[in-house]
């Protein structure tokens, strides 16, 4: 099992660009919504469960816009963190120095300052968004989604880091009427996955994008996850894990896209998701969610 948060959970780059969606309230949650060019023909509803930086970052909103444009699906990006996401500025903290540099006088002098701000950001997040509390919010949203616009459409999820954990759990859960909450899922470098338990319980086709330099998910762990996913049968048959050479924890949503290689990895994970949606839409029959 991979537990807690790793050093790469707090590192990354803020992406630039003009968002095209809008913010509204859906099923009681503030939600960023991205529509495709022809929303009336959308084959599925996609829900992004973000990384620890939350629903309001340019990274996640720009991703929602691209997902909508490339898949033809309406994309929801709800605030599952009750307004207590990690602040973007935490990505500017020198995490490596805080954790590992014990020789530089300047680093030693600044450690208390950086520790204070790291804790200032992390404590509210961890208190508000522990698994029990946050997953209750996730289930509330998906219950209402299934009862309304998701009743006659496929429902897919893309979960990143923190959100990847929720994607895996959702993939094993049914609502009271006996339908599964989601029809298919994608996860970019998920956090704190328990194996074999959560892979064995998974009942939804799952596609995972994983870097080979993922500090939270070392290769021995990831190889076992890949093996188990690709052995899934029944409703979750066809599940997969794709490795990205040199990708770290966070590469699919917080990569420095000005770095040509890291942009290539991030683009590859997005292409994987788009192919997965297309495959799921083609192969899954609407209503086969029991």
More confident residue, 40 or 245: 245
Three-state helix/strand/coil letters over the chain: CCCCCCHHHHCCCCCCCCCCCEEEEECCEEEEEECCCCHHHCCEEEEEECCCCCCCCHHHHHHHHHHHHHHCCEEEEECCCCCCCCCHHHHHCCHHHHHHCCCCHHHHHHHHHHHHHHHHHHHHHHHHCCHHHHHHHHHHHHHHHHHCCCCCCEEEEEEECHHHHHHHHHCCCECCCCCECCCEEEEECCCCCCCCHHHHHCCCCEEEEEEEECCCCCHHHHHHHHHHHHCCCHHHCCCEEEEEEEEECCHHHHCCCCCHHHHHHHHHHHHHHHHHHHHHHHHCCCCCCC
- Output the pLDDT for position 11: 75
- Output the pLDDT for position 267: 98
Contact 164/191 with Cβ under 8 angstroms? yes
pLDDT tens digits along 187-203: 999 999 999 999 999 99
Read off the pLDDT of each residue in 63-88 and give the average, rounded to a whole number: 95
Residue 288 has pLDDT above 60, yes or no: no
Residue 289 has pLDDT above 50, yes or no: no
- Output the pLDDT for position 119: 79
| Percent of the chain's residues with pLDDT above 90 | 73
Locate 16 and state its tokens: 């630039």
pLDDT band with cut points at 50, 70 and 90 for residue 186: very high
Residue 2 has pLDDT above 50, yes or no: no
Structural domains in the chain? Answer: 7-85+129-283 (3.40.50.1820), 88-126 (no CATH)
- Output the pLDDT for position 118: 75
pLDDT band with cut points at 50, 70 and 90 for residue 50: very high
Task: Report the mean per-residue pLDDT for the chain.
Answer: 90
Read off the pLDDT of each residue in 65-92 and give the average, rounded to a whole number: 93
Read off the pLDDT of each residue in 128-132 and give the average, rounded to a whole number: 93
Locate 207 and state its tokens: 């596609």
Residue 73 has pLDDT above 90, yes or no: yes
């Amino acid at each position: 099992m991979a537990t807690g948060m790793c050093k790469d959970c707090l590192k990354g780059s803020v992406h630039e660009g003009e968002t095209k969606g809008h913010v509204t309230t859906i099923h009681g949650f503030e939600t960023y919504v991205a529509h495709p060019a022809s929303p009336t023909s959308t084959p599925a509803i996609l829900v992004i469960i973000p990384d620890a930086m939350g629903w309001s970052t340019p990274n996640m909103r720009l991703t929602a816009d691209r997902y909508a444009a490339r898949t033809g699906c309406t994309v929801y990006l709800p605030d599952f963190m009750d307004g207590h996401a990690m602040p973007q500025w935490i990505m500017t903290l020198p995490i490596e120095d805080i954790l590992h540099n014990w020789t530089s006088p300047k680093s030693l002098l600044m450690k208390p300052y950086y520790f204070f701000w790291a804790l200032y950001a992390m404590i509210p997040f961890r208190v508000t968004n522990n698994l029990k509390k946050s997953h209750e919010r996730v289930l509330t949203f998906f219950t209402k989604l299934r009862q309304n616009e998701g009743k006659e459409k496929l429902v897919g999820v893309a979960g990143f880091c923190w959100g990847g954990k929720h994607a895996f759990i959702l993939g094993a859960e049914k609502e009271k009427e006996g339908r599964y909450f989601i029809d298919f899922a994608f996860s970019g470098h998920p956090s704190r996955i328990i194996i074999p338990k959560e892979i064995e319980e998974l009942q939804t086709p799952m596609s995972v994008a994983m870097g080979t330099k993922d500090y939270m998910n070392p290769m021995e762990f990831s190889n076992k996850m890949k093996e188990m996913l690709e052995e899934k049968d029944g409703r979750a048959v066809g599940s997969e894990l794709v490795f990205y050479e040199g990708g770290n924890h966070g590469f699919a949503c917080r990569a420095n896209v000005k770095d040509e290689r890291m942009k290539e990895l991030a683009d590859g994970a997005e292409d994987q998701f788009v192919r997965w949606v297309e495959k799921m839409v083609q192969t899954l029959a609407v209503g086969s969610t029991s």
